[in-house]
Amino acid sequence: MMQTWADWALNTAQRRGASYADVRVMDIRQRDLSTKNGEVGTILEAETLGIGIRVVANGAWGFASTDRLTREGVEACAAEAVAIAKASSLAKRENVSLAPEKAYVDTWQNPFLKDPFKIPVERQIDLLLAADKEMRGVKGVTIAEGMMSFKRIEQLFVSSIGSQIHQVKMHSGAGIVATTFAESEIQKRSYPNSFGGQHALQGYELVEALDLVGHAQRTAEEAVELHHALQCPEGTSTIILGGSQLGLQIHESVGHPIELDRVLGQEANFAGMSFLTTEKLRKLKYGSDMVNIVADARLEHGSGLGTFAYDDEGVPAQCIPIITNGLFTGYLSNRELASSIGETRSNGTMRTESWNRLPMVRMTNISINPGEWKYDDLIADTDDAILMETNRSWSIDDRRYQFQFSTEIGWEIKGGKKGRMIKNPSYSGITTEFWNSCDAICSREHWTLWGTPNCGKGQPMQTMGTGHGASPSRFRNVRVGVAFSK
C-alpha cells in the first residue's frame, strides 16, 4: 500500500499545480525498556504510520502530513500542501531553486543479524535486571539503572523527478549506569557511554556484544571509588580524551556549526547559529594539520545512526570532507542551499524524524579519521596529563565557539604511566584553539563509531540519531578544572 498512497499524493500535488513534489511514507516501530534498582521502569511499544507531502508551487514551499491513509485523506493532504505553498508564495523573497539530482529507483536495508523485535521483551528485561543486580552487589551503590532502545524505520520516498526509494533501518542501543551518593557528593559511572549507552544501526547482536552483565560490577566499583579520588586540579594541562567524549566534542563544536541552515540564519533552535560564516570556507585553519574530519553517511564508514543509502530528498549518501589537514573544507547542505556555497549538488544531509515533520539539514556520521598512535604508546609518550573519559555534562555558546565539558572519570598521566583516579574532571576552550592544539590521534584499532540517539533541532523539535567516529586523542595547553572549582 505504501506505493499506492505515494502515487495518490504525487498525482494530486501535480494536478493542483506543484512544480515539484516529494512524498515520504514512513512506518516507525519503537521499543524502549528500562530498569531501576531491581524493578522494571519502562516498557514502551509504539508504532506510527503516516505520509508527509512536500511541494513547491508558485516558487514557494508547502508541507502537509496525515495518518488518514484513505484515498480521500491522502489526496486532501496533498491538496493542502499545495495550498500552503501558494499562500506562502505571497510573502516569498525569491523562488525556491533546487540543485539538480538524478532519479533513483532502489531498495536498501542495513545489515543486521537479529531482529530485536523478535526477541521476547521478558528476555531483554531479564538481561537488564541481571546487570542491575551485579551493580547493586557493590557496596555503596545508591541507584542502578539499565536501558535498551530499538527502532525500525521503513520508508518509501517518491518524487516528481522519478525517484522511488524504499529503505529499512534498524536501530539498537543499550547501556547501564551506577550512581552513588556520599554526604553531599554524587558520582556516577556509565557503560559503555553516558546518556543511554551505545547506539548503532544494528540488530540485537549489538546488545549481546556489549556484555552489560560482564561490565556491571566494574562500572559500579568505579562509581564508588570516585568518592575517594583526587579532585581535578585547576589550571592549564595536556589532556587525553577518550573516544566517546571526543565524539561528543565533535558533535557540539564541529557537527552543529557546519549545518548550513544555521550558518545562513535559517535555523537557530536548540543549538543556536554558527561562527562558521561562509567566507571561512576553505580559508579557516580549524585544527592542526593532523585533524581530518568527514561527514560520511555511507555504510562503508560504519553502521552509525547517521548511516543510510539516500537522504530524505532522495540524494545518495556521500563522504564530505569537513576538515582536511586542519583546513575547514565543507558544510552540510541540501538541494536548496547548495548553490549558496558555490556547489552544484546537495551533499545529501536532509533528514526527518517522522512522516509528520519536514526534513532539515542534519548531521550524519561526523567522524575524525584515525591517526597512527597505539593507545599504550600515546600514554607512554605523555609526561604529564589528565585522561578524561565518558561525558557528564557540557555547555557551548550559541555560535558553537566557547565551550565547557565535564566527564565522569579521569586519571593522572605521570611519566608516561596511567596513575591515580581523578574525580570531577572538566575542561574548557575555544573551538578553533582547541582543535589546533591536537597533536596525537590513536589508530583505527582504537576507533569506535559512537551513536548519539537524541540530537534535537527545529521547531517543532525533531530528535535524530547521529554517529561520531573517534579514537583517543591528545590536546595540549587546555584549561582544566574550571567546572567544579570552589
Three-class HEC string of 38-98:
CEEEEEEEEEEEEEEEEEEECCEEEEEEECCCCHHHHHHHHHHHHHHHHHHHHHCCCCCCC
The rounded distance, in Å, linking the Cα atoms of 122 and 227 is 35
The pLDDT of residue 371? 98
Residue 410 shares a structural domain with residue 460: yes
In our burial notation (b when 16+ CB lie closer than 10 A, e otherwise), range 361-374 reads: bbbbbbbbbbbebe
Residue 384 shares a structural domain with residue 314: yes
- Which H or E run includes 22? strand 20-36
The pLDDT of residue 483? 74
Domain enclosing residue 451, as ranges: 230-480
CATH of the domain at 65: 3.30.2290.10
Residue 189 shares a structural domain with residue 236: no
pLDDT in tens, 14-64: 999 999 999 999 999 999 999 999 999 999 999 999 999 999 999 999 999
Give the CA-trace dihedral at 219, 225, 231, 237, to 10 degrees. -50
Boundary of a domain, candidates 228, 250, 273: 228
Residue 440 shares a structural domain with residue 320: yes
Whole-prediction pTM: 0.96
Would residue 486 count as lying in a domain? Answer: no
Residue 53 shares a structural domain with residue 80: yes
The pLDDT of residue 268? 83
Q: How far is CA 322 from CA 284, 435, 449, in A?
A: 11, 13, 17
Would residue 485 count as lying in a domain? Answer: no
Grid look-up 558555490 returns 342
The pLDDT of residue 485? 53
pLDDT block averages, 10 residues each, the chain of length 486: 97 97 98 98 97 98 98 98 97 93 98 98 98 98 98 98 98 98 94 97 98 98 97 97 98 97 88 92 98 98 98 98 98 94 94 97 98 98 98 94 97 97 98 98 98 93 96 98 70
Number of domains observed in the structure of the chain: 2
Q: Please, what is the end-to-end C-alpha distance for the chain in angstroms?
A: 63
The pLDDT of residue 216? 98
Would residue 136 count as lying in a domain? Answer: yes
Cis peptide before 192 (omega within 30 of 0): yes
The single-letter code of the amino acid at 368 is I
Would residue 109 count as lying in a domain? Answer: yes
Is 90 exposed, middle or buried, given 0-12, 13-18 or 19+ CB atoms closer than 10 A? exposed
pLDDT in tens, 220-250: 999 999 999 999 999 999 999 999 999 999 9
Boundary of a domain, candidates 228, 257, 289: 228
